[in-house]
Amino acid sequence: MCVELVPGVVGEPALAAARVSVVRGDEVLGRGDVLAQWTDDPALSTRISRGVALYTGQAELAEAIQEGVAAQERGDLRTATARLGRAVELAQAVKEATGNDATARLLAEVVDVDPGTGTARLRAEASKAARMTLDSRSTVTVRVRG
């Protein structure tokens, strides 16, 4: 998405710079305003907002889970361990930011992490159902606490 605006006064907000709707077929799934604030400070204009960073982290988390589960399914345990270990780290960050620990709990059924070293190990007794549940729920994002 690209939004072009007429330049405004530094420090002034451009409320509702755009309105966005997410639509599937004829159904509107969600709506929101794109907000902007004018600045001449490069540090402010290039900083990623907390909300965007969180959702970006959730996308990386979903990708790590999906890649890890797929690697495990094809017998590539080295890649599976690395990707699911990374997923554990990302799930912890999501938990800290949102209070939501659902993905961390699902990962704990598939991956053990040594608290002393941080080393991840695939759980030999993890069921295919646990891996499938983890994979299918990995694409769900959670709201940022406001």
The CATH number of residue 103's host domain is 1.20.120.1690
Please report whether residue 72 resides in a domain. yes
**Do 76 and 132 fall into the same domain?**
yes
**Do 90 and 18 fall into the same domain?**
no
- Higher confidence at residue 10 or residue 55? 10
- Number of folded domains in the chain? 2
Instruction: Identify the band that residue 9 occupies on the pLDDT scale cut at 50, 70 and 90.
Output: confident
**Do 120 and 54 fall into the same domain?**
yes
| Residue 146 pLDDT greater than 60, yes or no | no
Q: Give how far Cα 74 sits from Cα of 35, 69, 71, 102, Å.
A: 45, 9, 5, 26
pTM: 0.60
132 three-state secondary structure: helix
**Do 25 and 60 fall into the same domain?**
no
**Do 57 and 24 fall into the same domain?**
no
**Do 55 and 120 fall into the same domain?**
yes
Cβ neighbours, 10 Å, residue 107: 28
